[in-house]
Chains A and B, each alone.
Chain A
Amino acid sequence: MMKFIKLLFRNQLAAVGAVILSIIVFLALITPFLPLQDPGATDLPNKFLPPFTEGHFLGTDHLGRDMLSRLFWGTRMSLWVGFVAAMIAATVGSAIGITSGYFGGRVDNIFMRFVDMLMAFPYILLAMAIVAALGPGLNNALIAVAVVNIPFFARNIRGITVGLAQREFVDAAKLAGMGHTRIILFELLPNVLPVIVIAMSTTIGWMILETAGLSFLGLGSQPPQADLGSMLGDARDDLFTDPHPSVIVGIAIFLIVMSINLLGDGVRDALDPRLRSGALSRPLPSTMVDRGGDIPTPTEDLLAIQNLETQFHVGNRIYRAVNDVTLTVKPGECLGVIGESGSGKSVTALSVMGLVASPPGVITGGAVRYEGNDLIGAPYEKLRQMRGDKVSYIFQDPLSTLHPLYRIGDQLAEAIQSHHPVSNAEARKRAIKLLKDVRIPNAESRIRNYPHEMSGGMRQRVGIAMALANEPEVIIADEPTTALDVTVQAQILALLDDLRRDRGLAIIFITHDFGVVAQLCDRVAVMYAGRIVEQGLTDEVLAHPAHPYTKRLIACVPELGEGRRVLAAIPGLPPIVSDLPPGCAFAPRCDKARPECSQGDIALEGAGSQTVRCLYPEEDIK
């Protein structure tokens, strides 16, 4: 609860709303005790006195009544009416919602049908029909507004109750012989109460406004009773000659509604966990760069990732997702990058073209060089021109990575047209060719499919076709086969292997499966906690894994025909920088760990092509 209030007040606007609203509510509560003039005392000779007149701080209205006093009493009335309406709507609506959700079946069906029908009305029509039946008057307007809001509560509360009604404590209560009424009152109600309160806090502003509106139309409070709405309605008659009563009352309504809105927004934000971490930030077109330290010197490689550091900045915390990673590929070569989820392998891959979601991602060091040119911190347009044209990506789950609302032909054509100014007809022709290249049958008709109309394997072929659209030099494949079954996986791997041989493509293949690496990759780099812990030729590493972690990964490769066995993933995000133990990050899980392992940085060492970051390697590779 304290945490909630803290969160609420971190939101400055919500705090402003809370303060304004508390002042208004406080003044409304103490109105009878304030030294105000009689709100009903008319004084016709002194009508329409302007504000700040002696004795009438806010002037007088068309009957010479003191505006300040009327404003206070009117506000009190409006707040009270809104509050009562909210209470009635909440009580009746929640009763319907709980009953409906708890009993389910027929009861639920009938209630919810009824609620649906009420919701088919634009709200004011329903309110007006009720007022028409009951006759104009503040109480009737109040009832009308309450009834109109019942469906909202009934719906929300029903939804929550349905979830709760299946939980063990309800079953337990039933077994213990508790009656329905008692279960509803003592087991369910306490659990849905917070939801009711929140729903009230977000609708009470509306209810105040709606009753004020009905009064404004002359359908609510009747003289001498006055709420803000009827005051505004009265003042409107003289709007053009003496606007100040209208303006004063209107602003009062505005302030009440605004403060409630602000507070309501704050409450909602504080309760929605997605907003807490700032996750609802829009990712920038390319990853933010805030590079410190030296920039490594250029190399001859086609693509070189050099001493790359990518971090996630969430609030005050820093997660070091990629920590000093260096990798290179040559044309026609396939490099495997292997590790568990959270090891930083995907973030490394996405960093290359600045595709790490940012915020929270920030590239803080190192370089990514394509043919020697550093891409980190390159202008957006330069990066965009390279994306998909020189370096392209294949992602894991093509159902979520292809746009669900575009035909695949259009998505392919777009990839081409983003880099080559070709006609639509030409783009279409090339799209068909691409589909044929990735061995999709009936390419001519397939281009008219939407992603959801294809199988997983076909979709991934589309993903590959899209990556090939502009004949790139490098393809970065981020777990492209993880979502597929074994046979389809084998087909896709064979396809990638052919493409590499035919076109001289360089492939960086991200995976958690050593079996895949063995089939496809010339070299392999093993990542753990954002670092490379072992690197070498695939055969070498497979035959003589030097790092204890590599050995365990290899042990995980499923035998043919057996299901997939996956090493227990490291829970949560990569280690927090402040929590990162000195020395080897694998030490807590390593059988061979000794105190020295956790003392200082361990270098990536080795004599030949194989290097390892371990004090007591499994194999002596020096």
Chain B
Amino acid sequence: MELKLGEKASLRQAFGEVLVELGEKDERIVVLTADLAGSTNTDLFAKRFPERFFNLGITEANMMALAAGLAMSGKKPFVSTFAIFAAGKPWEQVRQAIAYQSAPVRIVATHAGLTVGEDGASHQMLEDINNIRVLPNMDVIVPADAVETKRVIHALKDHDANPVYVRLARAPFPVVFDDSYEFEFGRAKVLRQGEEVTIFACGLMVHQALRAAEILAAQGISAEVVNVSTIKPLDLETVIDSVAKTGAAVTAEEHQVIGGLGSAIAEALGEHWPGRRASPLERVGVRDRFGQSGSAEALIEHYGLTPEGIAQAAIRALERKRRR
């Protein structure tokens, strides 16, 4: 798959393709899915390495514990299904067999967020960052586009000490990084320097945040944009340094505002704020509601996860900063 800046590209296809590359290099890599080989693009790996691929049917709880068994027997399992069936249905199996035992399972969940679209609320996982972030030993990564997805999946090959959850989507996202982009686990990246407000974003919202910064620039407001692709462990240094500079923060995520990136940043600012006067924080995300059917585009509009929505949140944060 060729990736061109600004054009839309599938994260799950990027995942599927890199998985085959990894499989060529390391025969300890095994791949598991639950009747969603085609939808997760793990069918690419299945075709190349049928003997190292396990389609377990619709048995997600079984799959998670089984993956832990493989991991603790020297294999490097990648488990892939929809986010709701990875971080929802088998949550306690993930907690008990994977997180508690720190079994190095790589869970790569697709179809997270509202952009699942027409299937509706049952399939739109808006709580997965929350569910996984809370578990000890689990890392959480949310790539912003197909380029970052490739880098992340490559990095997972050596992620052997503890388990990790990667959040991908169904809808293709605009490519925001060129081919020179490097992913560094545990580091948030400043993508655009600014002085007055920091926008922290993950996933699709990174693209929206970059456009929001342009809207703000046109109004004479200087916004910094930070890609927080590693949500856990959170890069405290980058987060605190940026807000210490700008004095106002916005978070943007395709997730409930409760428990996700917005909460992680609020926790960080609340607990580690060095200065006297706290900085205002505005969270953009889904506000304690379920999703619904609709096209991905219509839903993003409806729930306000747009560049305009982020820009308005930035202006609210700035107004609060002035009133401090």
Decide whether A and B assemble into one complex. Answer: no
Q: Which residues of A contact B (CB under 8 A)?
A: none
Q: Which residues of B contact A (CB under 8 A)?
A: none
